[in-house]
C-alpha cells in the first residue's frame, strides 16, 4: 500500500497553521479533507489551491463541539474508507487572567480542544485500526509546556491533549498507528502577530523571530509519513529555542 496516498482529515484546516498543513499534506500525495466550522469559504479556497497544484482535496463543514453532528460527518467520510491521517488542529484562544476568567471562557476553550478531540478521533479509531496503519497528530502549544499568563484555559486544554497523546499512543502502537503532538511556540499567523510584536519576540525567542506556518506543517507532514514510523507518544515543540519544560 502507498502510505503517501492515504485520506487525511485536518480539523481547523482553514486557519493559518491548518491551511499550511493541508497544503503540505496535499503535496505529499494525501487526499486532504479540509475541515472548517464557520470559515466555509476559506476551506473551499484551500481545496481549490490544492487541486490547482495537482493534489486532491475536499472541504467538510461541522462543529467539533457538537458530538452528534461530528459523528454524522465522520460516518459519512468513512463511507469512502478509513481516514488514516488525522490532524487535530482546531482550537481557540479566549484569554483572560484567571481571577477574571468567566466560566464561558473556560468551557469554550476546553470544549473545542478536548471534547472536540474525542468527538472526531474516537469514531475514526476502529476503521484505522483495521487497516493496521495510521497517524494521529495533535496540535498542542508551548503554553502547555511552560505556561503563559492569561491562558490558563488554553494551557489546560493543550496539556490535556498532550496527556491524551501519550495514553492513546500506548493503546494503538502495536497496530501500526502512531500518535504524537506538535507544540508550536510563537508562529506568524493572524493570531500570533496580534499577540506579540517584534520586540517581544526578540526577547522571548532565542532565534529572534517567529516561526512560520510552513515550518509547523513540515513537521506535521513528517510525522504523518512512513519515515516517522518509530516515533510515537511524543510532544515535539517547534519554538525557535524557547525553554519548553
Cβ atoms within 10 Å of 180's Cβ, excluding its own: 23
177, 133 Cβ separation under 8 angstroms: yes
47 alpha-carbon distance from chain centroid: 17
In the three-class reduction of DSSP (H, G, I as helix; E, B as strand; rest coil), residue 181 is classed as: strand
- Is-catalytic flag, 118? no
Three-state SS string across 154-198, please? HHHHHHHHHHHHHHHHHHHHHHCEEEEEEEECCECCHHHHHHCCH
Tell me the residue length of the chain: 245
Q: Which three cell numbers stand for residue 16?
A: 493559518
* 36 bridge partner residues: 61
Catalytic hit among 33, 118, 154, 230: 154
Using alpha carbons only, what angle is made at residue 149 by residues 145 and 152, rounded to the nearest 5 degrees?
A: 65
C-alpha cell at 62: 461541522
Distances (CA, A) of 38 to 43, 60, 64: 9, 11, 11
Among all residues, which ones are annotated catalytic?
154
Amino acid at each position: 500500500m502507498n502510505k503517501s496516498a492515504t485520506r487525511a482529515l485536518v480539523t481547523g484546516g482553514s486557519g493559518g497553521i491548518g491551511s499550511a498543513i493541508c497544503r503540505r499534506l496535499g503535496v505529499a500525495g494525501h487526499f486532504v479533507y479540509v475541515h472548517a466550522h464557520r470559515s466555509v469559504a476559506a476551506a473551499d479556497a484551500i481545496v481549490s489551491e490544492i487541486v490547482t497544484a495537482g493534489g486532491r482535496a475536499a472541504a467538510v463543514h461541522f462543529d467539533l463541539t457538537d458530538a452528534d453532528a461530528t459523528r454524522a460527518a465522520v460516518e459519512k467520510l468513512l463511507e469512502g474508507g478509513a481516514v488514516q491521517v488525522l490532524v487535530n488542529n482546531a482550537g481557540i484562544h479566549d484569554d483572560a487572567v484567571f481571577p477574571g476568567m468567566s466560566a464561558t471562557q473556560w468551557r469554550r476553550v476546553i470544549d473545542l480542544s478536548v471534547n472536540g478531540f474525542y468527538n472526531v478521533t474516537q469514531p475514526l479509531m476502529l476503521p484505522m485500526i483495521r487497516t493496521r496503519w495510521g497517524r494521529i497528530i495533535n496540535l498542542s502549544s508551548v503554553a502547555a509546556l511552560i505556561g503563559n499568563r492569561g491562558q490558563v484555559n488554553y494551557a489546560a486544554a493543550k496539556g490535556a491533549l498532550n496527556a491524551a497523546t501519550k495514553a492513546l499512543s500506548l493503546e494503538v502502537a502495536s497496530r501500526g498507528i502512531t500518535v504524537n503532538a506538535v507544540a508550536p511556540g510563537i508562529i506568524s499567523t493572524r493570531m500570533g502577530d496580534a499577540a506579540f510584536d517584534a520586540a517581544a519576540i526578540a526577547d522571548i525567542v532565542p532565534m529572534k523571530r517567529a516561526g512560520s506556518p510552513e515550518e509547523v506543517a513540515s513537521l506535521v507532514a513528517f510525522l504523518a509519513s512512513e519515515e516517522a514510523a518509530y516515533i510515537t507518544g511524543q510532544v515535539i515543540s517547534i519554538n525557535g529555542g524557547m525553554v519548553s519544560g
